[in-house]
């Protein structure tokens, strides 16, 4: 199938409507008979097809004997349809997210295992999007592309209070990455801490994600195919981890603010 016809079908045109519009973009204008011959659409169908295209505002009709059908600019038509579809998709995201979150709250034993780096990162981003007030994170390692994805998500949620406790560095593809500098350069509150090879994300003391992975023998690089995330929506568990995080954060800040003794 022609790629243009496939695209037009994807935005709601029938096969014949798509064929007629594509044909008219080359003819610019034509009679029903001319469009039928150029497109291969049966003459018995062409009048209904062109009538529908006019109703959908893809073409104009000029009076006369016979009628003349004039194509509308693809830029005008497709940009309009793109905006319409984007609006409909945004509305659906909103409605379905509300249904999804309501369903999640009703699920018994809300703990899920998530396999694969891409799915883990996507779930972290979804948790950040749902957060209302705070995100607390312990970062002992990062997957390839994860730091950038997290920073991008945080920058879209400027109202969130974000705290991170992290190991100073980690390795990604044998290259040393300065975790502290990476996040601090984007005005994110991050403190150096002794974090083992684990990652924890806690949202609003209500849900959290633990991420684990195996490492290479030299303990430098993650082995991506072994990554597993434990997504937990038990509020009691999330609250307990959040309280421990806040206590550790307070101790670190207290130590860093303590005046150094001069000897």
- Does this model's pTM top 0.75? My answer is no
Region of 257 on the Ramachandran plot (φ > 0 left; ψ -120 to 50 alpha; else beta):
alpha
Domain ranges of the chain: 3-72, 110-257
Instruction: Report whether pLDDT(262) > 70.
Output: no
Q: State residue 58 phi and psi, 5-degree precision.
A: -95, -20
Of the pLDDT bands very low, low, confident and very high (cuts 50, 70, 90), residue 145 is: very high
Residue range 3-72 in CATH 1.10.10.10: yes
Architecture of domain 110-257: 2-Layer Sandwich (3.30)
Find the mean pLDDT for residues 65-73: 94
214 is written with which tokens? 């195996």
108-112, 184-188, 213-217: which has the minimum mean pLDDT?
A: 108-112
- What six digits make up the tokens of 191? 């403190």
Please say if the pLDDT value at position 263 is more than 70: no
Q: What is the mean pLDDT of residues 196-215?
A: 93
State how far the Cα of 57 lies from the Cα of 36, in Å rounded to an integer: 19
How close are the terminal C-alpha atoms of the chain, in Å?
A: 81
Q: 240 near 155, Cβ under 8 Å? A: no
Percent of the chain with pLDDT over 70: 94
């Amino acid at each position: 199938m022609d790629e243009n016809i496939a695209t037009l079908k994807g935005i709601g045109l029938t096969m014949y409507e798509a064929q007629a519009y594509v044909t008219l973009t080359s003819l610019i204008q034509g009679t029903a008979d001319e469009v039928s011959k150029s497109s291969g659409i049966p003459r018995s169908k062409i009048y209904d097809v062109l009538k529908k295209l006019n109703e959908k505002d893809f073409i104009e009709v000029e009076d006369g004997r016979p009628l003349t059908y004039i194509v509308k600019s693809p830029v005008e038509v497709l940009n309009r349809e793109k905006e319409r579809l984007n609006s409909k998709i945004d509305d659906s995201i909103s409605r379905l997210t509300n249904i999804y979150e309501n369903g999640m709250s009703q699920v018994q034993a809300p703990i899920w295992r998530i396999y694969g780096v891409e799915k883990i990162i996507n779930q972290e981003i979804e948790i950040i999007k749902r957060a209302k007030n705070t995100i607390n994170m312990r970062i002992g390692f990062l997957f390839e592309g994860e730091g950038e994805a997290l920073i991008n998500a945080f920058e879209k949620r400027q109202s969130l209070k974000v705290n991170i406790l992290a190991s100073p560095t980690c390795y990604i593809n044998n290259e040393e990455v300065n975790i502290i500098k990476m996040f601090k350069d984007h005005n994110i509150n991050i403190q150096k801490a002794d974090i083992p090879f684990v990652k924890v994300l806690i949202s609003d003391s209500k849900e959290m994600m633990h991420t684990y992975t195996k490492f290479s023998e030299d303990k430098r690089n993650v082995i991506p195919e072994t990554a597993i995330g434990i997504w937990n929506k038990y509020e009691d568990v999330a609250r307990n981890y959040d309280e421990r995080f806040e206590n550790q954060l307070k101790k670190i800040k207290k130590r860093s603010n303590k005046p150094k003794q001069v000897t």
